[in-house]
Amino acid sequence: MSFLLNSKEPASEESVPREKCGVVAVYGVENAATTIYNALFALQHRGQEGAGMVVSDGKVLRLCKGMGLVSEVFTGDFAEHLPGHTGIGHVRYSTTGASRMVNVQPFLAECRDGMWAIAHNGNLVNAGELRDRYQKQGAIFQTTTDSEILLHQLADPAFFGRRDRIRNALAELCGSFAFTIARPGCVYAARDPWGIRPLSLGRVGKGYVVASESCAMRQIGAEFLRDINPGELVKIDDKGVKSMRFADVPSSGYGQCVFEHIYFARPDSHIFGQSVYQVRSLIGRCLAQEHPVEADVVVPIPDSGVLAALGYAHASGIPFEMGFIRNHYVGRTFIMPSQRSRSSGVDLKLAVVPEVVNNKRVVLVDDSIIRGTTISKRIEALRQAGAREVHVRISCPPTRHPCFFGIDFPETAALVAHGRTEAQICQLCGADSVGYLSLDGLRSALQKPEHFCMGCFTGKYVCETGHAVCKHGLEHNGSDDLEARHHRHDVVMR
């Protein structure tokens, strides 16, 4: 049983890095639908394009999903239509092309042995090869996402009936993934062998919860237990938690996405064993040491630049002020129908406080510069408000390479830092100076820096498929036509 809500299809925003989604799973929790709702609400920052959940009463999986925010998709008495104590949930961003209602997760399907539902965070870089294989066998795909591959694997006669069916299917996948899987009587959770995407296990009452971030557990009163390990498959049922391995950590090592700490995760989360709040504060302190400047005030770009700006202010002794105020009631820019209206919407998000910046030398702190259009608007707004100088400080190294593992970084030519020096970027953006955190500075804030993927900075990726894609310059990831992308051997993006 399923019902769909709010089927508008938004266009995609183009000026900031976006992560695809967040996932949740619960087992043995009374009123699972309400618990999943609250957990997804805590993960809303990971995806604002669509949301969905599947809930089981032990016999039937029921689906509810739609376009929009969690509060827009799940309205009224939705929980009454989703009885049960077990389920999975998902919040979504698409990374390429136009959004489609059919791509909103979880995906629900009925196989020979009953109903299966999946939710996915990440990007399968070998999805084109696998999709082609199943289509040649006569399989019909209902979506344009890589996530649907797992459903076809689970229904594949080559895997069906085998004891290690899910493990064998997961072992075929290459790329980043955090999967939650629902069956009528249990849930599964799996994390890719490199550990690129985060996934955590917790205890709530007598039941269990799995979530992309620990902040979702706090939202529902759950106790964080541990991270799901890279290459681990967890099954949760009435016997408790069973851990299985489907792959070893590759010889190349871990590949945890460093942008989880820089940008994506909520500050009150623990990601990859570290407090996001503390990492961002340390990054800001290091940024102040590497790029000092004589100034009167440190101003963050809210919300992602706030903690780095606090760290910069503490280390430099320059006062911290909220020179920008965010308007939380402005409509999401990526649902506006045209590029012109989206550009206008970006200007409406933040308002300058003239009293803070007028006749001041401003240190403007942000997490990253991707295309350069947004930071230019912020600098212009500060100058119009009377700022004498604007010195931009970025709490990560220059983003010079695209990401193939689940972040919506554009092709190389569109990245403002590719092929440009900091002085050239400064001139393009209209700042008085620009300073990026160094790779060594970023590593100094991480407990195990060798466990992180920094391919967007270095061009060195964590798995062979990523290396192959980059070697051949196959970065045409703007199309939503899977067939066209497959024929040019591109990475299949969701």
pLDDT in tens, 438-457: 999 999 999 999 999 999 99
CATH of the domain at 339: 3.40.50.2020
Q: Tell me whether residue 34 is in a domain.
A: yes
The span from the CA of 31 to the CA of 342, in Å, is 39
Residues 165 and 17 in one domain: yes
Residues 317 and 209 in one domain: no
Residues 251 and 303 in one domain: no
Q: Tell me whether residue 344 is in a domain.
A: yes
Q: Tell me whether residue 461 is in a domain.
A: no
Q: Tell me whether residue 471 is in a domain.
A: no
Number of domains into which the chain is organized? 2
Find, among 29, 71, 35, 28, the residue nearest to 51 by Cα.
71
Three-state DSSP state, 368: coil
Residues 17 and 158 in one domain: yes
Q: Calculate mean pLDDT across residues 95-110.
A: 77
Q: Tell me whether residue 463 is in a domain.
A: no
Neighbours of 77 (CB within 10 A): 7
Residues 34 and 94 in one domain: yes
Per-residue pLDDT band at 405 (split at 50, 70, 90): confident
Q: Tell me whether residue 195 is in a domain.
A: yes
pLDDT at position 56: 98
pLDDT at position 158: 81
Per-residue pLDDT band at 99 (split at 50, 70, 90): low
Q: Calculate mean pLDDT across residues 457-464.
A: 80
Model pLDDT for residues 360-390, shown as the tens digit of each residue: 999 999 999 998 989 999 999 999 999 999 9
Per-residue pLDDT band at 136 (split at 50, 70, 90): very high
Residues 316 and 250 in one domain: no
Residues 307 and 393 in one domain: yes
Model pLDDT for residues 49-69, shown as the tens digit of each residue: 999 999 999 999 999 999 999
Model pLDDT for residues 310-329, shown as the tens digit of each residue: 999 999 999 999 999 988 76
Residues 297 and 383 in one domain: yes
Q: Enumerate residues 6+ apart whose C-beta is below 8 A from 133.
A: none
CATH of the domain at 158: 3.60.20.10
pLDDT at position 106: 97
Residues 16 and 70 in one domain: yes
Per-residue pLDDT band at 4 (split at 50, 70, 90): low
Per-residue pLDDT band at 464 (split at 50, 70, 90): low
Q: Residues 361, 388: contact at Cβ < 8 Å? A: yes
pLDDT at position 20: 61
245 bridge partner residues: 232
pTM: 0.87
pLDDT at position 247: 94
The span from the CA of 466 to the CA of 484, in Å, is 19
Per-residue pLDDT band at 341 (split at 50, 70, 90): very low
Residues 198 and 345 in one domain: no
- Could you list the residue range(s) of the whole structural domain that residue 77 is in? 2-255
Q: Enumerate residues 6+ apart whose C-beta is below 8 A from 312.
A: 284, 285, 287, 288, 298, 318, 363, 365, 393
21 is catalytic: yes
Q: Which of 199, 222, 255 is the last residue of a domain?
A: 255
Average pLDDT over the chain reads: 86
Residues 73 and 205 in one domain: yes
Residues 311 and 171 in one domain: no
From the candidates 21, 426, 453, 470, which is the catalytic residue?
21
Q: Tell me whether residue 267 is in a domain.
A: no
pLDDT at position 421: 94
Say what angle helices 339-349 and 373-384 make with each other, to 10 degrees.
50
pLDDT at position 161: 67
| Side-chain-side CA neighbours of residue 429 (13 Å) | 31
Q: Tell me whether residue 271 is in a domain.
A: no
Q: Calculate mean pLDDT across residues 163-172.
A: 91
User: What is the four-CA torsion angle of 379, 382, 387, 389, rounded to 10 degrees?
Assistant: -10
